[in-house]
Chains A and B, each alone.
Chain A
Amino acid sequence: MDEQPTLWDSAAPAPTARPAPRILRVSDLNRRVRALLDNDAMLADVWVEGEVSQPSYPPSGHCFFTLKDASSQLRAVLFREELARALIRPEHGMQVICHGRLRAYEPQGVYQLYVESVTPAGAGDLHQQYEALRQKLAAEGLFADERKRPIPRWPRRIGVVTSPVGAVWRDIGNVMRRRWPLAELVLSPTIVQGPTAAGAIVRALHRLYAQRDLDLVILARGGGSLEDLWSFNDEKVVRAVVAAPVPLIVGVGHESDVTLADFAADLRAPTPSAAAEQAVPDATQLPAILARLRDRASAALLGTLEAQRRALDGERRALAALAPDAATARQRAADLVDRGHRALMARLERDKLGLRAAHDALRALGPQATLERGYAVARLEDGSIVRDPAQVTAGQPLDVVVARGTIGTRVERTATDETEDLL
C-alpha cells in the first residue's frame, strides 16, 4: 500500500527510528472492513438464532431490530420487500431464526445482518407446524363434516374477502356477472400475504360478519408458494372461518394447495374462480325453468277446465234423460264445448313452444272467450242467469246464450226434485 502524505510529513522532521503511522480516513477504514466481510463466503449465507429486541418499524417500511442472546447482540435489518414475504413480523422478545448475509454498513461503521427470511425458532419447520395445528383443530371438531352447512341455492348478498388488487377479485366479479348478475357482491378488502396478513384477513372477515342480510362469504387468494399462502394456515384465520354466521367458501391457491382454512370452510373450492362458480347457480338456465313453471300453470288450468267440461257432460246426460227438448240445446252446447276443447288441444299440439299459445289465449279470458270455448249461459227473460233449477218452472222460456248467439228454449221440467232420485 502506498504511504499517504499527512500533515505530519511536512510539519515535523521525519522521526529517525519509528516509521510514520499510517493514518486512514474513516471511510477508507470502513471500506476495508466491508471488503473483508464481503469476501467471507460463510458470512454471505448465514443462519442465526436469537431473541428479537427493540424492533422498529419506521415509515420507510423496513424493520430494524437487534438479535441477541445471553451474552451478545447483533444488529439486523429486514427490508420492506423481505418483510412483506416473511411469515412473521419480528416482535420484541420473539425467539427467531434469521437467514441472511452479514455485511458492514459503511456510513455508520457497523456490521449487521441483512435478513432474507425470518421464522419462529423452536417450532420446527412449517410442515410440522401445519400438521400440529391441523391435528389440534381437528381434535376440536372444527373440520367435522357435521359442521358443514349447505350453500344457499340463490344467494342475494355475497361477501368476498380478498385482495382488491390483482386477478382474483377481477375473476370473481367476472364469474358473477356471467352466472349470477342478480347478486350483490360485498367486498371486504384485505392483504393476503406477509406477516400482517393473518390479522388483516381476520378483521376483514369480521367486518363482513357484521353486515346484515349476508347469505354467503367467499374467502379467496391466488396461487403462491407455501409461505405466500401461510396466512391461511394461521390459527386465528381458521377460527375466524369457523365463526362465520353464514356458509363460507374458501378458494385459495391452486388445485393442490390445501390450507387449514380450506378444512374449516363449509365448502372448499380448488381455486378462487371455482369458489365463485360454486357459490351461485347459472342464471342462463333460469328462463327455461321459468318457462316450465308457466307451462305447468297453463296445463293445470286446462285440467281444471277439463274437469268442468266433464261435470257439464254429466249434467247433460242427466238432462237428456229428463228433458229431451232442453237436452237438445244442452247437447248442442256440450258439443260446442267438445269442439272448442278439441280445437284448443289441436292448437297446443301444433305449437312448438308447447303451451305458449294456450297461455296467450287464456290470458285473454273473459266471458266471451269462455263462451268461445263452448260454455253456455242460461238466462231468464229478465236477463238473470240461471244457476239453480229452482229459479225456473216448467214452460218458462229460457235463453241459452252460446258464443255466436242465443237459442230460445222452454223449460220442460225442473230438475231439482227428480234429479235427486237419479243422481
Chain B
Amino acid sequence: MTTEPETLTDEQLAAMPFDELVARLQRVVQTLEAGNAGLEASIALYREGLRLHAASEERLRKAELTITELGRRGTEAGGGTGGAEGGEAPSG
C-alpha cells in the first residue's frame, strides 16, 4: 500500500526542513482520516504522526534566525568614491 508510513530515523527527522515535517504530518493525518489503512497500519501511522508533531514543536521552540552575508567588502567594485558608506545617511 502506498500509504504505508515509512518510519523516519531520528537523524532523518532532525535533518528534515520544518515545512516538510509539517507536510508529512498533514499526509499522515489525511491517510488516517481516509480510514482505510487497517488497524495496525493506522496505529503505526498515528505513532509516526506523534513523532512528526513532536519534532515540529521542538524545531519551533529552538528556532533561531540564521543570517549570512554575501561578499563582505568588495561591493563597490567600479563604484568609485562618493557614496561608498553613504548607504543610509544619518536619517536612516
Contacts and interface: CB of A to CB of B under 8 A. Distances in A.
A75 interface: no
A13 to B, nearest CB: 59
Contacts of A42: none
Contacts of B92: 163, 165-168, 222
Contacts of B13: none
Nearest to B82: A83
B1 interface: no
B23 to A, nearest CB: 9
A190 interface: yes
Nearest to A152: B19
A296 to B, nearest CB: 5
Nearest to A58: B81
B64 to A, nearest CB: 6
B78 to A, nearest CB: 7
Nearest to A192: B87
Given A83-B83, A191-B84, A308 B29 contact: no
A362 B17 CA distance: 27
Interface of B: 17-19, 22, 25-26, 28-29, 32-33, 35, 37, 39, 42-43, 45-47, 49-50, 53, 56-57, 59-60, 63-72, 75-89, 91-92
B50 to A, nearest CB: 6
3 A-B pairs with least C-beta separation: A166-B88, A194-B83, A163-B87
Interface string A144-186: 0000000001101000000111111000010011001111111
Given A166-B92, A204-B75, A300-B35, A195 B82 contact: yes
A84 interface: yes
Interface in A58-100: 58-63, 80, 83-84, 86, 89
A224 B91 contact: yes
A406 interface: no
Interface stretch (A241-249, A282-290, A386-394, A397-405): A282-290
Contacts of B53: 290, 293-294, 297
A84 B83 contact: yes
Contact of A191 (B47, B49, B83): B83
Interface of A: 57-63, 80, 83-84, 86, 89, 153-154, 156, 163-168, 173, 176-177, 180-197, 199-200, 203-204, 207-208, 211, 222-224, 228, 283, 286-287, 289-290, 293-294, 296-298, 300-301, 303-305, 307-308, 359, 362-363, 365
A201 to B, nearest CB: 10
A290 B32 CA distance: 16
Nearest to B26: A293
A187 B49 contact: no
A297 B26 CA distance: 9
A194 B83 CA distance: 6
Contact of A303 (B35, B59, B91): B35
Contacts of A208: 70
Given A296-B32, A297-B32, 13 more contacts: A58-B81, A184-B68, A186-B67, A186-B68, A187-B67, A187-B69, A189-B71, A195-B82, A196-B78, A203-B75, A290-B57, A297-B46, A304-B32
B42 to A, nearest CB: 5
A195 B82 CA distance: 9
Contact of A193 (B17, B29, B42, B86): B86
Given A185-B67, A290-B25, A359-B50, A163 B88 contact: yes
Contacts of A304: 32, 35, 37, 39, 42
B84 to A, nearest CB: 7
